[in-house]
A and B are shown apart, each in its own frame.
Chain A
């Protein structure tokens, strides 16, 4: 059962087609990653899913019904560029955003205080937002996203601009929400993150979905000819070797693509013969980064190393 289905979404801005006939499915209870480089169409797709933009074509279906206000009430949304009313007090901010979702009263107030306590903001609840540090403002924004207990959490580039403490905090929130059966959808250009967090994904490039499915399935499909290697020594002899199609250095690990899927044993033998000190040899492994490069080419791919 799909919680959310995106069907043939298309959005054009003047002559630019930002999203081109995009379709993907978000399963119940999953952490879904929408992956692509900057400007690939992630934000536009998400905005159309949220009803912030009207699509030129296509639709978004929530459990069999076209999305509308009901979906908006069930979503907690954290946009890439975050903002709050500077002059509002912390507690007022929380109440206001919950009220926009149709939730108000004692219950929400109590819950807001619980979250504030948990995130170490309780003693600041009567401060104005502008008097909070940037990190605390980010925390406050997380709370506004989840306070109304949404079924869906949509995060656009959630880790951009977060300090390590808040990065961890947000990761915890995401995992906790998953445990409670919520659907989490996030977009990122950081493959590393996506690989560690999501279980389903769609890759978007130049507005088109170039890959979709569950992470393990996708990896299995693309991994057969791949070996990831950690070693000490000299492997330059592999460069023009007949069984090797391509070598790529990712810093800590090296990705090796073989010509045939049954040549992994041969490669290991070769490395041992040449007295390369093999620390880790992982056949049938491939990173999302490699898959992405394979599908979309190398231009402009973000290779920043980020760790969750």
Chain B
């Protein structure tokens, strides 16, 4: 099978891919793009230099004085991004006040107005008026101060020690500990989520990109009739094998380049990620990821090449690609939703369904502790898929590449499988 002719086809394929502009651009730009996105998110999270002008109005003097004291001594003031004005007024007065301030709110001269009614001491409900009232960041940051004031006030005429008050004031802090077999318990932030997004995204991009490339290449050979000259030297199976292997090895090389920064983040101190999103990746995970990716490439490149062979122009091929796209997209969305809910049953099953396992298993492996045997089973499923689809794909490919003219119907394609070619 792997004779001189296959190697010749293989070499040409690798050379053609590697020197193509699209490939070079993607290889360099994608990591830059990813790190750019992460960087922008960090920037947004750290809220930058936005200034907040907030008017705080309390219904009672006492409440007003306490909140003013609390906020003025808070670290928010020290940062210098928050500017507060304090008022005391009744509900009626506040309505007038709000009307007066309406224009300033709309012009965003004032970020927002907070009103703390006396009833808040019973139901902890306070009012916030703003052009963008759903600013989570703001409410999250202010919440604990207001809460503290309300609690202090509430308990002030009861006999509690400051310690007891402190306890009552505290919110609950969920500290995540990942349970693993080996190293006891590890405190974990969002790192594994970041890693699993990364793995899933790279897998998805690469499968689609390499797939599209091989499909275009098959269509080119077919529509420019090169294929007939080639088939006078090699047989269709050798041609297909050489092309797919060439593409897959190129894809693997690209993936290795993409993963290099990931490995470097983990193993060196060159890039420092915030502790919250810092992730761990084991050698086993990387090895599994690459092996799984390579098998996945072989499977999907086979499908893309087959679709390319059925049609003789890119437009028809794109519209005929939907069954293959479904096989990539559905598992991709399952993997994405699993990142939200790692224990979902769909994801558990999908990790062992042919085609879907290729995309779902890597994501699953990064979020959950997946036993070794499951990883091996998943690779076994990919191999079995490969051996199951290739006789069929090869048959359709062989018939398809010599067909031109009318766009074939699916029913005809099914007939091709039975042809003696």
> A193 contacts the other chain (Cβ, under 8 Å)?
no
> Which of B4-12, B51-59, B317-325 touches A?
B4-12
> B402 contacts the other chain (Cβ, under 8 Å)?
yes
Q: Are A100 and B230 in contact (CB under 8 A)?
A: yes
> A32 contacts the other chain (Cβ, under 8 Å)?
no
Which residues on A sit within 8 Å (CB–CB) of B227? 83
Could you mark each residue 276-298 of chain B with 1 if its beta carbon is under 8 Å from any beta carbon of chain A, else 0?
00000000000000000000000
Of chain B, the residue at the smallest CB distance from A50 is: B232
Q: Are B8 and A100 in contact (CB under 8 A)?
A: yes
Could you mark each residue 156-184 of chain B with 1 if its beta carbon is under 8 Å from any beta carbon of chain A, else 0?
00000000000000000000000000000
Q: Are B421 and A53 in contact (CB under 8 A)?
A: yes
With contact pairs A72-B232, A100-B8 given, residues A79 and B402 touching in the complex (Cβ less than 8 Å) = no
Chain A nearest CB from B220 CB (Å) reads 8
> A134 contacts the other chain (Cβ, under 8 Å)?
no
Chain A nearest CB from B364 CB (Å) reads 40
Q: Are B8 and A99 in contact (CB under 8 A)?
A: yes
Measured in the bound complex, the distance between the Cα atoms of B420 and A154 in whole Å is 24
> A86 contacts the other chain (Cβ, under 8 Å)?
yes
> B226 contacts the other chain (Cβ, under 8 Å)?
yes
Measured in the bound complex, the distance between the Cα atoms of B229 and A79 in whole Å is 7
Kindly state the interface size class of chain A when it binds its partner.
20 to 34
- Give residues of chain A (85-136) contacting chain B, Cβ–Cβ below 8 Å: 85-88, 96-97, 99-102, 104
Measured in the bound complex, the distance between the Cα atoms of B229 and A77 in whole Å is 7
The size of the chain B interface, using a CB distance under 8 A, is 23
Chain B interface helix/strand/loop/mixed: helix
Of chain B, the residue at the smallest CB distance from A68 is: B235
Could you mark each residue 195-233 of chain B with 1 if its beta carbon is under 8 Å from any beta carbon of chain A, else 0?
000000000000000000000000011001111111111
With contact pairs A52-B402, A84-B224 given, residues A97 and B229 touching in the complex (Cβ less than 8 Å) = yes
Measured in the bound complex, the distance between the Cα atoms of B337 and A100 in whole Å is 47
Chain A nearest CB from B64 CB (Å) reads 76
> B188 contacts the other chain (Cβ, under 8 Å)?
no
Q: Are A81 and B233 in contact (CB under 8 A)?
A: no
> A56 contacts the other chain (Cβ, under 8 Å)?
yes
Of chain A, the residue at the smallest CB distance from B402 is: A52
Chain A nearest CB from B76 CB (Å) reads 61
Chain A nearest CB from B123 CB (Å) reads 72
With contact pairs A97-B233, A100-B8 given, residues A54 and B228 touching in the complex (Cβ less than 8 Å) = no
Which residues on B sit within 8 Å (CB–CB) of A78? 229
Of chain B, the residue at the smallest CB distance from A73 is: B233
Q: Are A82 and B233 in contact (CB under 8 A)?
A: no
Measured in the bound complex, the distance between the Cα atoms of B421 and A54 in whole Å is 5
Question: Footprint of A on B, CB under 8 Å?
Answer: 4-5, 8-9, 12, 16, 220-221, 224-235, 402, 420-421
5 nearest A-B pairs in the assembled complex, by CB-CB distance: A77-B232, A83-B225, A83-B224, A100-B233, A99-B8
